[in-house]
């Protein structure tokens, strides 16, 4: 009986606090200070590697870079960071291209990259708790790179993606602004890398699931099948 009364009391407190808790959850955890627009330069760092998936050794190019988004006036608003893995020697117009990202709020793409589908992954134990750090990287035999090139995108305000110029949090931290930023990134990426003819896919986990349903619609409205 005592346990039941404690549970009822705790539940009552939770119900009473729910509105305030929801309001706090709706607020960004931090406020990001935009970087000066003069520093809005797109950058790339390229390296090479190989991974064996399903008995097939795949040589790939890894590109860590940024793409700058701009508003209707041409002013820089955000620098979006990405890591792309592309199969060497493949015909880009035939090779599928998958844009992948984590959920949110506040989640970069690291979990779906080195924790999921990239050519390298963090070494963990199977069906048992993973011990504390240090952690090591290993080749990922379950990478999707045997089927598709991969572009892992950090949402604005996560990872190395950041605001630029006079942009504010509300320009990106909302359902529609979030989708638009990812859509503009993808349009810029396929334009800069000559990938308009590639079969294109979007992939996300957690909040990335509703994001990709809206994002697919946004892209098709812009003529990106």
Give pLDDT, residue 189: 98
Residue 28 within any structural domain of the chain: no
- Domain with 202 in it: what CATH number? 3.40.50.1820
pLDDT band at 40 (very low <50, low <70, confident <90, very high): confident
Residue 67 within any structural domain of the chain: yes
Stretch among 24-38, 64-78, 141-155 having the lowest mean pLDDT: 24-38
Residue 179 within any structural domain of the chain: yes
Give pLDDT, residue 149: 98
Give pLDDT, residue 131: 85
Give pLDDT, residue 8: 37
Give pLDDT, residue 104: 67
Query: pLDDT exceeding 90 applies to what percent of the chain?
Result: 71
Domain around 141:
38-221
Q: How many domains does the chain have?
A: 1
Give pLDDT, residue 87: 98
Residue 136 within any structural domain of the chain: yes
Give dist(CA 97, CA 140) in Å, integer: 19
- Please give the residue that has the higher pLDDT: either 35 or 50: 50
Residue 107 within any structural domain of the chain: yes
Nearest C-alpha neighbor of 64 from the set 7, 126, 144, 118: 118
Residue 1 within any structural domain of the chain: no
Residue 15 within any structural domain of the chain: no
pLDDT in tens, 154-208: 999 999 999 999 999 999 999 999 999 999 999 999 999 999 999 999 999 999 9
Give pLDDT, residue 109: 95
Give dist(CA 100, CA 178) in Å, integer: 14
pLDDT band at 21 (very low <50, low <70, confident <90, very high): very low
* List of long-range contacts for 209-216, beta carbons under 8 Å, 24+ apart: 209/103, 211/101, 211/103, 211/178, 211/179, 211/182, 214/175, 214/179, 215/179, 215/182, 215/183, 215/186
Does the pLDDT of residue 16 top 80, yes or no? no
Residue 166 within any structural domain of the chain: yes
What is the bridge-based pairing of β-strands 149-153 and 97-101? parallel
């Amino acid at each position: 009986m005592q346990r039941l009364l404690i549970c009822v009391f705790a539940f009552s407190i939770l119900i009473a606090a729910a509105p305030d808790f929801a309001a706090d959850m709706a607020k960004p955890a931090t406020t990001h200070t935009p970087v000066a627009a003069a520093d809005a330069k797109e950058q790339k760092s390229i390296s090479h590697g190989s991974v064996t998936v399903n008995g097939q050794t795949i040589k790939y190019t890894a590109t860590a870079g940024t793409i700058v988004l701009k508003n209707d006036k041409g002013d820089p608003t955000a620098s979006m960071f990405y890591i792309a893995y592309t199969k060497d020697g493949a015909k880009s117009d035939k090779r599928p291209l998958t844009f992948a990202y984590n959920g949110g709020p506040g989640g970069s793409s690291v979990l779906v990259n080195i924790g999921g589908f990239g050519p390298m992954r963090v070494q963990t134990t199977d069906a048992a708790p993973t011990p504390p750090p240090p952690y090591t990287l290993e080749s990922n035999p379950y990478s999707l790179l045997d089927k598709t090139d991969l572009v892992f995108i950090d949402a604005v305000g996560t990872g190395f993606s950041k605001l630029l110029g006079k942009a504010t949090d509300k320009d990106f931290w909302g359902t529609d602004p979030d989708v638009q930023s990812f859509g503009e990134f993808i349009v810029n990426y396929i334009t800069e890398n000559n990938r308009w003819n590639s079969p294109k896919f979007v992939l996300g986990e957690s909040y990335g699931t509703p994001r990709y349903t809206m994002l697919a619609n946004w892209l098709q409205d812009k003529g990106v099948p």
